[in-house]
Structure 1
């Protein structure tokens, strides 16, 4: 008869090997070591190699080793992650052995092990060490850098092998070279830094603007051709100097037969050098003799590429060419910088709010105000499908490019274009008011006069002379005579 099975471990029975107390001490030491690895991991992730190099040049102890480790931070961080996991798993196994030795192999031992190690790992390994490592990154990094460097030399083959295996079984890119997989992660980190007060709101916007620069094309930042200030090539230098003073610009495109025929760029300093240099013939010199070569770029070019090209060429203005080969506008260094740091104003820029209410009930709006905003101001429906700005709405109503003084009526609103001193035919703002009853009567009277001028009977009267017009019956007499005639059978 077979003997009954003997249980593997009985509750309270001593296990072979180390006593339970020693197992717990080893597990505690492994947890502390895992916390040190986590703290070094967090510190190394927050250390800048450039800043570590500055500390090394200043003679700070341990900074040189920290710089070496930070230069290869990806490999060392993954090694620390491997060692931390190894310590935590080993400590969990030791605690499980003690729990089984105490409570027996069953659910109770498993729950006690899981609960205890979850709390210990979260507090001792997860929260406290990583917080200390981030808050005191350079101090912790200088202390732990020698150990991390030594471990990197000893365990580098093992870490490389595990990374190779991970890349083989992981779809996609596998192990990524760096702390950020995408630009989106870096942007989210900047947003988190603003929420925690690490960066200011303006700094966050500037960082996001730098990222957006690569997604922006030249057409979105250029000064459109309708707002360009230009000068003809045959004009004389005194005329050019007057235009410079009126416009406030230091560089102006030079055109030939039309604005689509840009020949070059005229610089204010070149004009002053010519006119004030003592040359008696300078005032008779044409602009074409002094202008410089213009740089042309397509309107679809990314703005970050354009900025790099302008820096390399040391030019401050380029002419934008549209898809048909005509002049689309121009771009300056200031236009690109404003995409990063915001609007830049100088003593020549007019500070004007987008909406200004006047005393007589009129509203002055900028020509670039969105059509939707204008419709909300006056609570009217405006056609916003084909045009986006008030200036475009006025041009659509007129059927041509508006000039200062141009006026049109759109859905019960009267629009009057206003210009800017020094800007040739440039629309800077638009006066908007509701069409009143008096305006309605005036318009109807004008319409009747136009109809009267186009009346063929009146036109024949004017051509026939006064004697013939006296013999013609009036419209009322003609109607009465028709009423007296009998109807046809």
Structure 2
């Protein structure tokens, strides 16, 4: 009886080991384990090998766990029958259920979840041996399970196609929600992951906000506008703003001025204008960034499918998708969270309606939909179903919008307030 009791305790300890190992090896951070494996940690290499074939791993662990649990229950039943007779079966069932749940399931899984990486590294060598020993049985079980699933039209060999980008983005959002990553860092990581999903049209400066200069302007007037501008590179058109014929760099203007001893009228602008670079609006931001680096250029003119100028994109526009708004000494020193957004004393926000929805959501933590509109004006128009008049108010997406300014048919500025949920108690 003593030997049987000791055997039951040993079997429960083995069940503890199997349950904890299963939880630890499935919950361990693959990124941390991979980093340790790159540093030639033998246990991490073993964990990586085990995780790579999860079906075989789980099959071996479950097989071992079930064997020891059933054997422990059988021994407990035989022992208690000797002591209490037929009633021992009931006592054995109650006792083993409590023992297995507490000591072989809840306790080891809780410990494993507390420190999954270290637990996985500790048990990996022993589990690896068990997987090898049980390999013939687990392979036979896997084949049987696969055959049975096929009868129901389920193919076990088809892996769940998960996007690595989506998994990383979910991890970043989760860590930010838990307080493990500050908002700025989460925005930067999210911006990097979003580059492949964005098009140039999502980040470009729209044509209505472009500063362009007429090449036929008098040289002194053109030079004055370049020097008064806050921009380094300015598109130059001929005849119509849709006919961009070149780009003018402020440094080239200064060099030309120096050559003519500061006489602006003597500057031949046409000789210092360089050829523009045109790109389609459907170009991915990730690809455009690579092209900027390859060509050593900082600005491109964006065209639509008909070859009409839609806007321009710069290297800074793409970098801002990662690091957020970049301000320089020419930006207005206003108390604002984003250029174009001002906080009002009553708690609302005055928002430039031409701002991209993504930038506003990121800076303010709002959730305006960006699937059907690229700008705040587009969100307001989509909600109103018409081009709203000045002073019109719209409630949508949990916010109250009021059109403050209109420029002809364009919504120029809106007042935005978050709608406070009503107290259900009245």
Tell me the TM-score normalised to structure 2 length: 0.67
| 1:202 paired residue among 184, 206, 214 | 184
Q: 1:366 to 1:285 in 2, by over 3 A?
A: same
Q: How has the CA–CA distance of structure 1 residues 181 and 325 changed in structure 2, closer, same or farther, with 3 Å as cutoff?
A: closer
The answer to whether structure 1 residue 116 and structure 2 residue 93 are counterparts is no
Residue aligned with 2:306, SS: coil
Q: What's the CA shift for 1:339?
A: 2.6
- CA–CA distance in structure 2, aligned partners of residues 342 and 200 of structure 1: 14
CA shift in 2, pair 1:129/1:50, >3 Å: closer
Alpha-carbon offset, residue 364 of structure 1 = 8.2
CA distance 1:36–1:265, shift in 2 (3 Å): same
Q: Call closer, same or farther: CA 1:156–1:89 in 2, change over 3 Å.
A: closer
Shift of 1:329: 0.8
- CA gap of 1:365–1:144, structure 2 versus 1, over 3 A, is closer
Displacement of 1:146 after TM fit?
5.0
SS of the equivalent of 1:199 reads coil
Q: Which residue of 2 aligns with 1:91?
A: 68
Q: Distance in 1 between matches of 2:199 and 2:353?
A: 22
Structure 1 position 302 matched with structure 2 position 284: yes
Say yes or no: does 1:393 pair with 2:406.
Answer: yes
Match of 2:232 in 1: 250
Deviation at 1:291, TM superposition (A): 2.7
Is the Cα–Cα contact under 8 Å of residues 298 and 314 in structure 2 kept in the other structure? yes
Give the direction of change, closer, same or farther, for the CA distance of 1:96–1:72 in structure 2 (3 Å limit): closer
Task: Verify: 1:230 aligned to 2:193, yes or no.
Answer: no
What is the CA distance between 1:167 and its match in structure 2? 6.4
Note the C-alpha offset of 1:145.
5.5
Separation in structure 2 between the aligned mates of residue 343 and residue 295 of structure 1, nearest angstrom: 25
Pick one of 372, 381, 388 that aligns with 2:392: 381
Q: Distance in 2 between matches of 1:384 and 1:263?
A: 44
- Of 317, 320, 329, 1:335 maps to 317
Instruction: Determine whether 1:19 maps to 2:19.
Output: no
Q: Would you say 1:350 and 2:332 are equivalent positions?
A: yes
Structure 2: gaps of 5 or more residues: 356-375, 416-426
TM-score normalised to the size of structure 1? 0.59
Render the CA deviation track for 1:369-395: whole Å, top value 9, x for unaligned.
86769x9xx99535999xx99598331
Report Cα offsets for 1:45-100 as digits up to 9, x if no partner.
Answer: 352524543xx3xxxxxx44256446656415555433332332122212220343
Larger radius of gyration: 1
The 1-side partners of 2:77 and 2:4 are apart by 13
Q: Which moved more, 1:252-261 or 1:24-33?
A: 24-33
- Residue of structure 1 equivalent to 2:14: 29
How far 1:238 sits from its partner (Å)? 5.8
Q: Give the match's secondary structure for 2:251.
A: helix
CA contact (8 A) 2:246 2:276 kept: yes
1:305-324 to structure 2, matched below 5 A, reads: 305-324=287-306
Which of 176, 200, 203 aligns to 1:221? It is 203
Native 8 Å contact 2:393 2:402 kept in 1: no
Work out the CA distance in 2 between the residues paired with 1:73 and 1:199: 30
